[in-house]
Amino acid sequence: MRVLLLLCLIAASFAANNKILVNQFLKSFDMTHQEFYLIVKKARAASRLQSVVPEWEVSQDLPKNLNATTYPLVFMHGMGDSCFNSGMKQITKESGEHLGVYSVCIPTGNNDITDTMNGFFMTMDNNVDEWAKRIRKDIHLKNGFHAVGFSQGNSVVRGYIQKYNDPPVKTFLSVHGTLNGVAGFPNCDPDGLLGPVCKILAQVCGEMAYVQSIQNTLFQADYFRDPKRYTDDAYLEHSEIAQWNNENPKNVNTTFKDNMVSLTKFAMIKALKDTMIFPNEGEWWGQFEANSLKTIQKMEETDNYKTDRFGLKTLHDANKMIFNTTDGNHLQFTEQELFWWLDNYITE
């Protein structure tokens, strides 16, 4: 909660274009920019962010699958995590060894600090653009690849597919992903035990989220979808996820749909007890009904699906979508589960 409040304060200061104010806010929390990173890193080590892939006890008896694919694997990490983190290094290495293919985690920063901080203070669009640059520089990926995203990393993968997809993604495996954004901030359910505090946070950040300068500053604001503001001009005109969803009829990008429907397979894993993605139905492209934080719409009930704004219905009708679940909380899954998804969902 402390980190989230700090994010809102920093974002507000950027809205005023006042870097001195940013430093004042940091100082009010007795922090420097480096100390902010260390707080995130400490929370990551303690798994308090619930968006970090943990290290595993390596299973020695899991069978190798050397015939599933010839295409490489590309991973994208979640909020607070980094390709330079030991958990991501391990999962990338072991997945590649299991399938017998080249496997890589593509960062958007050059080290643990910048890669982690870009998950907060680089926009969703800019993260996608940087990811695309690095994808294209890797000669092993020139003919295409399978993409695996964790949590917020799925927003980057999704954006890459819609905006670029060159080289193309074959199979997209989304694990507990922010695919359809969030209506509340991480681990802060407005109807949960911290409801009064979370509602204030959602209201304050929600009011600021669709200011252009906020959209140009804070990753999390870029995929924030307030059910009370689906039709607001500010949301439709400034929100990055609204642009990706083609929700603004004045600004429709047909390439987003063309690229999305080119996927060979799209597998989505939802955490049944997720306290990070709110609502967790968003991991399957669902959402809250307009003007509600209680009534859930399944993917097929949403306007985005019904009007096929960016290809969800086309993918679904073509039987390219797969839906699966895990029983626990956010990013709680086993090595065996991941390898089963890779073996059964990765196709040429």
Q: Where are the domains of the chain?
A: 2-39+189-238, 73-182+249-345
Question: Which position has the token pair 């060979």?
Answer: 264
Instruction: Please state, in angstroms and rounded to a whole number, the distance separating the CA atoms of residues 262 and 178.
Output: 21
Strands (E), the chain: 73-76, 103-105, 145-150, 169-175, 265-271, 287-288, 296-297, 321-326
Do residues 128 and 156 touch, judged by C-beta distance below 8 A? yes
Domain 73-182+249-345 sits in CATH at 3.40.50.1820
Instruction: Please state, in angstroms and rounded to a whole number, the distance separating the CA atoms of residues 156 and 104.
Output: 15
Indicate the helix (H) or strand (E) that contains 111. Answer: none
Residues 6+ apart with CB under 8 A from 348: 69, 70, 71, 170, 264
Active site residue 330: yes
Indicate the helix (H) or strand (E) that contains 99. Answer: helix 86-99
Residue 113's pLDDT is: 87
Instruction: Enumerate the β-bridge partners of residue 169.
Output: 145
Active site residue 233: no
- Set 151, 155, 174, 239: catalytic member: 151
Tell me the helix, strand and coil percentages in the chain, rounded to 5: 45, 10, 40
Do residues 221 and 205 touch, judged by C-beta distance below 8 A? yes
- Set 81, 115, 189, 274: catalytic member: 274
pTM for this one? 0.85
Active site residue 151: yes
Residue 197's pLDDT is: 46
Instruction: Please state, in angstroms and rounded to a whole number, the distance separating the CA atoms of residues 24 and 30.
Output: 9
Residue 161 to residues 91, 128, 136, 266, 335, Cα–Cα distance (Å): 22, 9, 13, 12, 26
Longest CA–CA span in the chain (Å) reads 57
Residue 35's pLDDT is: 67
**DSSP letter (8 states) at residue 15:** H
Residue 25's pLDDT is: 44
Do residues 124 and 219 touch, judged by C-beta distance below 8 A? yes
Instruction: Please state, in angstroms and rounded to a whole number, the distance separating the CA atoms of residues 246 and 215.
Output: 17
DSSP 178-225: -TT-BSS-TT--TTSTTHHHHHHHHHHHHHHHTSHHHHTT-HHHHTB-
Residue 33's pLDDT is: 62
Q: In terms of DSSP H, where are the helices of 103-170?
A: 112-121, 124-137, 153-163
Residues of the chain with pLDDT under 70: 1-69, 185-207
Residues 6+ apart with CB under 8 A from 46: none
DSSP 261-305: TT-SEEEEEEETT-SSSSSGGGGGT-EEPTT-SS-EE-GGGSHHH
- Set 77, 176, 238, 330: catalytic member: 330
**DSSP letter (8 states) at residue 229:** G
Residue 182 to residues 139, 165, 279, 290, Cα–Cα distance (Å): 35, 24, 7, 13
| Token couple for 178 | 């922010």
